[in-house]
Chains A and B, each alone.
Chain A
Amino acid sequence: MSQTVEAIRRERTENTQNIYDDKIPARVPISVSLAPAVIAGYAGIDIRAAYWKPSLLKEPAIKLAEMIGSDAAIYGGSIYTPVSSQTLRSINKVMSSTGYMQHPNTVCMEPDEYDELIADPYAFIIEKCIPRLYKSLDPQSNPWKNILPLLQESQLRAAVAREDMELRQELNERFGYPAPPRMNGGMGRVAMDWLADQLRSFSGICIDVRRNRAKLIEALEAIYPMIYKIGVAKDLNNIDRYSSTGFQLHMATYLREKDFAEVWLPTWKRQVEDYASLGMRISAFLEEDWDRLLDYVYELPAGSVFSFEKTDAKLLKEKLGKKFILSGGFPLQHLTQCTKDEIIGKTKDWLDIMAPGGRYIFGFDKGAITHHDVNVENLIAVCDTVREYGTYDNPGAATGEAFDKSIFKHSELPQFKSKYYKTWEQYLAEFPYTPDEARSMVMQSEDAMLATMFSMTC
């Protein structure tokens, strides 16, 4: 990496770290990335091919990175890919006829199965959810027909991930994007959102919250030890404030306040406060419009990072701007609905609201899905305007409310147990000649299997 690129990387890293260290940055950091489908569409490349060979996107990604002054790598990668979903015949991650991967409204748990879920959530995932969501993994069929797709999926996924990583590395080295933070944060899921998104479905949970309220609440309690384990920092001895456990807050705004406060919020608040007592930071995307719920958000630990969509920016900044780090929110639709001059004006107006006092990272309210969502010339103008207009004259000055982990007390957490999860003692009882040196390796693999199975229901 050349010295110039290294200097750019240092400036970007320091700028963003200032935000996390409760200091005013030199300028508003810009977090804009583009999904593979956007880059592919921009270059006229078939997205179906790019999902399998991310290296096809190298040239257009380099071209876009040269033009767009984002502080985050312009190539954003994708969450869902056909590589995994079609090999396992997934019904919860599906490609549309036009080539875009999506999560349709699926059900893999019936309303009369709450007791089974409550008894052993991990076993329920393995025995009920996975076979229902992944047709290749149906135990009723020939077992070899289960094993082979699993092996194939793992091999294909690794091959695609290698290309994906190589592309990211090349872009990072060429353009000085900050090195990604040490990935110590876990995988954050709100208990009720997880139950809604894949198990009971969006519409199913809306009915359960009325009809099966008590069972639903009991289930949220029962899955807490698993949800906690999945989201907690991987290395508890080396927790830092630059990495976070991230959440996509999905169901909250679709519920009436009574259901939000009594059913959705309690387990998540407990989770966030338990993590805060360990010194962990959380980040969360506030989906839809949170105007009416901001007082609840205000109660969460200082320094949490909230990106937002339709919440009123002025109200958000006024109520939460000192205590938390805010990001995102700028309407993506402006990119295609405004002229260049108009969007420059709108960007300045936006910064007038969000930038004062620091604690803001620029980004859009939602990610672009196709190249039709992005007028590249306007995107360049937006990023340039943020760079030029979003500067501070007092970088390094302290700002906002500091996080204090000592005010949080960890709740009593029942040990995570399942017939499919072996403790070291159980493992030793089954394989008595295993040396103690294998202990951390074995337990890491138990945790990795849990995380894999869980993520298949996400």
Chain B
Amino acid sequence: MIDLAVLRTAVGELEEDTVLALIDEVMAAGGDEAQGAMEACREGLGTVGDLFEAGEYFVSDLIYAGEIMNQAIGKLKPALLKSAGEGLGKMILCTVEGDLHDIGKNIVRAMLEAAGFEVLDLGIDVSPAAIVEAAKKEEVSIIGLSGVLTLAVTSMKATVDAFKEAGMRDNVHIIIGGNPVNEVVCGSVGADAWAVNPQLTVSTCRAWAEESR
């Protein structure tokens, strides 16, 4: 039995060695505690998000937290598959057309996956048509659009418009994120929500996922 509170704190304090040693212990004991360990990691990651929002952690801490979580999930995966619980479902994430930046998107993806989403990452420079097509094919109702450059705003709007043209706008929730995004941009783009920190993205998407259950 590992102390889940210690694991939670270690993730929150970005103590990589402690986190991985505790996860190894869970797996060495047969993996029965994997679900509990995963939950503790999620809670620890929540602390990381809170500290980021409070200005105590910075982007490099989020990236490092994502790296720790990726390793932890990788180790826990065999045991988690055995006792698969209900996740938060699928969602789409990508950097919009014209923009090649993916650092923010990748941070958010790590956080969303840790929260329980199955993230369909469409990559960078993704056209509105490709996003709509993927949403249709995969029957996804939550769409995360990321961008760093100011030109991303135009593509975000084009993507929202493409959902309208496809007659799917009322079936999807769209959140936009990244450097050029704010309340005014969200309004002009016609998205449902906006975020400049991953914690807010996770909580918004989680609320949508739970609402649609």
Q: Which residues of A contact B (CB under 8 A)?
A: 94, 96-98, 100, 102-105, 202-203, 205-207, 209-211, 251, 253-256, 259, 292, 332-333, 337, 366, 368-370, 372-373
Contact = CB atoms under 8 A, between A and B. Distances in A.
A332 B125 CA distance: 23
B184 interface: yes
Contacts of A254: 58-60
Given A104-B124, A254-B60, 14 more contacts: A96-B97, A96-B125, A104-B102, A105-B101, A105-B103, A203-B106, A205-B60, A207-B64, A210-B14, A292-B55, A366-B150, A370-B150, A372-B151, A373-B150
Contact of B64 (A210, A251, A333, A369): A210
The 7 closest A-B pairs by CB, nearest first: A206-B60, A98-B98, A254-B59, A206-B63, A104-B100, A102-B100, A373-B150
Contact of B58 (A256, A333, A372, A373): A256
A211 B100 contact: no
Interface size class of B (residues with CB under 8 A): 20 to 34
Contacts of B154: 370, 372
A211 B124 CA distance: 28
Given A96-B100, A97-B125, A210-B64, A102 B58 contact: no
B149 A369 contact: yes
9 contacts: A96-B98, A96-B100, A102-B149, A104-B102, A104-B124, A333-B150, A337-B184, A369-B149, A370-B154
A99 to B, nearest CB: 8
B99 interface: yes
A207 B67 contact: yes
Given A207-B64, A372-B154, A97 B57 contact: no
Contact of A206 (B59, B127, B151, B184): B59
Interface string B107-144: 00000000000000000110100000000000000000
A333 B152 CA distance: 13
A370 B152 CA distance: 10
Contacts of B127: 97
Interface in B56-70: 57-61, 63-64, 67
Contacts of A373: 150-151
Contacts of B57: 256
B190 interface: no
A209 to B, nearest CB: 6
Given A254-B58, A366-B150, A368-B150, A203 B103 contact: yes
Contact of A209 (B60, B101, B149): B60
Interface string B170-188: 0000000000101011000
Nearest to B102: A105
Contacts of B125: 96-98
A102 B185 CA distance: 22
Nearest to A94: B100
A315 B206 CA distance: 38
B53 interface: no
Contacts of A207: 63-64, 67
